[in-house]
Structure 1
Amino acid sequence: MSDVDMPRHNALPATAWLAIGAAALGGMLYGYDIGIIAGALVFMKPALSLSASEMSLIVAAVLGGGSLATLIGGPAADRFGRKATLTVAGLVFIVGVVVTAIAGGYSGALVGRLIQGIGVGLITIVVPLYMVEVMPPAVRGRSVTLFQLCLTFGILAGYLVGYLFNHSGDWRAMFATALIPAAAFVLLGLALPKSPRWLFKQGRTDEARAVLGRTHGPAEAETTFAELADQTDADAAAGRWSLLPAPGYRKAFFLALAIGLLNQLTGINTLLQFNTVILDQSGLGSGAAAVLGSVTVGLTNFVVTIIGLVLIDRVGRRPLLIIGTAGSAIALVFMALVHVLTTASPLQGYATLAGLIGFVVFFAIGPGIVVWLAISEVLPLAIRAKGMAVALFANSLMSAALAAVFMDIVALAGYAGAFALLAVSVLLYLLVAIFPLPETKGRKLEEIERHFLGGEHG
């Protein structure tokens, strides 16, 4: 499909805009959960008498809960539907926020954060899955990557709320502020239509045709429906786990799995959560400079993601991922060299801040904006939900593992060694972007599916 054929934004039906709103709120909740803990933890420590290891586990609890949720989210989305699972995800998140905000000690806070993690994990798999199956091809990239944009906004909002509550130290209120967007997310979820592709898999073809008519133009809805009818056979529609490594499906599955793993091995979540510590120990100081440095990193992440959102359906997924991984690797090598050639000082601190900003710029324009879209687009319909579950489970598990060992790596090899190891991982990601990843810009999901199913035999 050429750019000339693409519908303009104002031509999108109201139902499509409703889905976009839900994706925006889902991304914001995920990001807010990452950002708010940085400010809250400072005040939770004395209030709940937390040890250093207990603080680490409270941070990791969300990642652990998210790992579990991503593994069960795909089967749940297949069994109960994308819409139902999306709504439940919002309700689980609300429960987690309430439990955390009223916690009287370490155990309560840990349980609350675990529940929040389950809610966030469900959101991370079901929102991109739902969006990629509902939105027209011409705007699918921008619609799905809006999730990532709002995720970065959520991180920034979490940092800023932490700063605003810094004077009062009311960490319970910090968490409670998330209830407003979470409630809006649930209400939007209830108003959304079911995924037309899920309806088709259930044999509810008339409903699927009706939903396509509400989210696509009339002509495009009919052609998409016809392609769905031609594409699905009885064996594939069952969506069994055994299909993941089966001939015809394994190439797409292992590509999605590699993207999920390598996206976290860039170190993005670890660097975002530890950036204040990194800047402090690099010599920037623990006062306003380090705090403002963290906010600057968060703001950069948000602004550059907006640029990526504009480019994703114009430039394409693959070029952005190549540029982003190459630039991220260079930024990590730069920070490694800074820590080899200098000692902790304002010079090293500001140079590290510059490296972090550069890393975030390239991550946001490449891996950050592409990851959810690439994983959801390359997987054929028969394995999409379960394949995304495994890929995002691996993504979350790698995030938790890297966060758990990052400071140990720093203790053994210094920041120079830690940044160098991350750079090697990003270079592997670059190779994946150059070779096996196809360009999916403007292509229907059924066309992408034929690329993979027709490219592997035996």
Structure 2
Amino acid sequence: MTTTSSATPRRVIGRGSYAIGALGGGIRGYELGVVSGALLFAGPALGLSPGVTGLVVSAALIGSLVGALGVGPLADRFGRRTMLTGGAVLYIVGILAAAFAPTAAVLVIARIVLGLAVGIATAMIPVYLSEIAPAVRRGSASGLFQVMITVGVLVASLISLAFTPTGGWRWMFGLGALPALAMLVGSLRLPESPRWLVRRGRVDEARAILAGTRSPGDVEAEIESIRSVNAEEHSGARRTLLRSRLLLRLLVIGSGLGILQQLIGINAITYYAPTVLTGIGFSDAAAITANVGLSTLGLIFTLVMAYFVVDRLGRKKPLMFGALLMALSMAVLGIVFLGARDGAVTGGAGVLAVAGLAVFQIAFALSWGGIVWIVFGEMFPLAVRGAAVGIATFLTELTSVVISLVFPSLLATGASTVFFGFAVMGVIAFLWALLMVPETRNRSLEQIEADLVTRR
């Protein structure tokens, strides 16, 4: 492998790179949070039937599946930063098309384009952030992705609330172009992943980029470590290994994390918290306001996770204990609804139900909300990192689609059964974290890869 590019690039890694790189989480969160409010008014305005409304919602989820699965090989070939830029452009096109959609068909197409952008961002950002951050700061840097998701959800909730009196669904969609525009402008100034650059033979560029956050000695050590891993990956033994049990095992672990992240109930709560709240006696306005409160809790404790938990306690322990706390809160909700009369929960039981939702939101924010994405970016070998994270993200999004589609029907058959089911999933998530997930705190990506290889 040769070193190329004698010119020192202007782009270097700085703290701002982490925030700009994570902005794609904001567009994911905004898409998640805005659609429920916007469709309340877009439905009557465009004459959407219930079936077409469901198609509008699921169109973005389907687009996200395609984006997540397809972006990995492209990122391994053309670079991480290029994919982030492309995702921002697609999002701007999709969100503006949704805002100006004259018919249901145009709105469905716009939502598919939005989904493609979200899938690209979701698969790429954990990879990018993990590859540019030093080991001691990688957890908090990668955790910014989930921080931005919660910011996006909260902002979408507030904007929906602000435009509800006027029914301004076009504004609800259209304002989502602003974070995507910020992501686009920022991505043009981001440095490329130094690990991808070394793999492409552009070592001088990678060295200059790493110099932004590493000491000179650490830069050279990291460059040599990356080159060593690359050399091994080009050997016949490592290529054979990547095609066999190691990669399969890592895909099972990562995909299991993503699937369980959805099966413990977070998207059901995100999409349908107002429905649950109205079921326990809240008015529509009070339910929407309370949902903003839940989103605020999610943001606060996601910040706690990113800055005070993940780089101090690691990945494994928060995943384990967060799963148990979520299982407990879902069990409490199951018990509350089990004792409901005619589906209504009032008095102290209603307060307990709200507390259960709040505890679930806090526990998710401190653990599975952000740490799953962090682990995605850390645990796969460099040679296939983009593609492998794409596959794991695809399965995560597919599970999200299924949960989002079936949750309303399940809720109608009996809320207590649904919440007890989520509680069981929480226990399974605890066992998965305990038995399957490796601890990756304060270790370079190359050390993680070498350890996983020796433990295969």
What does 1:35-434 align with in structure 2 at a 5 Å threshold? 35-233=33-231, 235-236=233-234, 246-286=244-284, 288-310=285-307, 311-343=309-341, 344-347=344-347, 348-412=349-413, 414-434=414-434
Q: Is the 8 A contact 1:284 1:345 kept in 2?
A: no
1:277 Cα shift? 1.1
Q: Is there any run of 5+ residues in structure 2 with no aligned partner, and where?
A: 1-10
Query: CA offsets, 1:363-398, max 9 Å, x none?
Result: 111101201101111112122111101100000010
Q: Is the 8 A contact 1:134 1:215 kept in 2?
A: no
Corresponding residue SS for 1:232:
helix
Q: Is the 8 A contact 2:139 2:310 kept in 1?
A: yes
Matched residue, 1:451: 451
- Report percent identity of matched pairs: 33
Q: Is there any run of 5+ residues in structure 1 with no aligned partner, and where?
A: 1-12
Matched residue, 2:17: 19
> Within 2, Cα distance between the matches of 1:246 and 1:312?
31
Query: Letter of the aligned partner of 2:96 in structure 1?
Result: V
> Within 2, Cα distance between the matches of 1:258 and 1:33?
24
Query: Letter of the aligned partner of 1:142 in structure 2?
Result: S
**291-300 or 242-251: which moved more?**
242-251
> 1:164/1:14 Cα in 2 relative to 1: closer, same or farther (>3 Å)?
farther
> Within 1, Cα distance between the matches of 2:242 and 2:154?
37
**376-385 or 356-365: which moved more?**
376-385
> 1:440/1:234 Cα in 2 relative to 1: closer, same or farther (>3 Å)?
closer
Q: Is the 8 A contact 1:252 1:380 kept in 2?
A: no
> Within 1, Cα distance between the matches of 2:326 and 2:268?
14
Query: Letter of the aligned partner of 1:400 in structure 2?
Result: V
> Within 2, Cα distance between the matches of 1:300 and 1:221?
39
> Within 2, Cα distance between the matches of 1:440 and 1:415?
38
Query: Letter of the aligned partner of 2:210 in structure 1?
Result: L
1:208 Cα shift? 2.2
> 1:82/1:323 Cα in 2 relative to 1: closer, same or farther (>3 Å)?
same
Query: CA offsets, 1:123-176, max 9 Å, x none?
Result: 111111111111111111101101101110110110000011111111111111
> 1:260/1:345 Cα in 2 relative to 1: closer, same or farther (>3 Å)?
closer
Corresponding residue SS for 2:281:
helix
> Within 1, Cα distance between the matches of 2:227 and 2:242?
22
1:346 Cα shift? 2.9
Query: Letter of the aligned partner of 2:323 in structure 1?
Result: T
Q: Is the 8 A contact 1:92 1:115 kept in 2?
A: yes
Query: Letter of the aligned partner of 1:228 in structure 2?
Result: I
Q: Is the 8 A contact 2:298 2:361 kept in 1?
A: yes
> Within 2, Cα distance between the matches of 1:236 and 1:109?
46
> Within 2, Cα distance between the matches of 1:368 and 1:244?
28
Matched residue, 2:7: none
Query: CA offsets, 1:47-73, max 9 Å, x none?
Result: 111122222222222221111110011
> Within 1, Cα distance between the matches of 2:160 and 2:293?
14
1:424 Cα shift? 1.6
1:349 Cα shift? 4.1
Query: Letter of the aligned partner of 2:390 in structure 1?
Result: A
Query: CA offsets, 1:181-240, max 9 Å, x none?
Result: 2111111111111111111222222322222223423221111111112122365599x9
Query: CA offsets, 1:73-131, max 9 Å, x none?
Result: 11111111101111000000001011101111211111111111110110111111111
Let me know the Cα RMSD of the aligned residues. 1.9
Aligned length: 441
> Within 2, Cα distance between the matches of 1:378 and 1:318?
13
Corresponding residue SS for 2:40:
helix
> Within 1, Cα distance between the matches of 2:279 and 2:234?
53
Q: Is the 8 A contact 2:336 2:345 kept in 1?
A: no
Query: Letter of the aligned partner of 2:260 in structure 1?
Result: L
Q: Is the 8 A contact 2:21 2:187 kept in 1?
A: no
Matched residue, 2:5: none
Q: Is the 8 A contact 1:25 1:150 kept in 2?
A: yes
1:336 Cα shift? 0.7
> Within 2, Cα distance between the matches of 1:327 and 1:419?
14
Query: Letter of the aligned partner of 2:312 in structure 1?
Result: R
Q: Is the 8 A contact 1:87 1:189 kept in 2?
A: yes
Q: TM-score, normalised by structure 1?
A: 0.92
Query: CA offsets, 1:415-450, max 9 Å, x none?
Result: 111111122222111111111212111111111111
Corresponding residue SS for 1:233:
helix
Q: Is the 8 A contact 1:284 1:346 kept in 2?
A: no
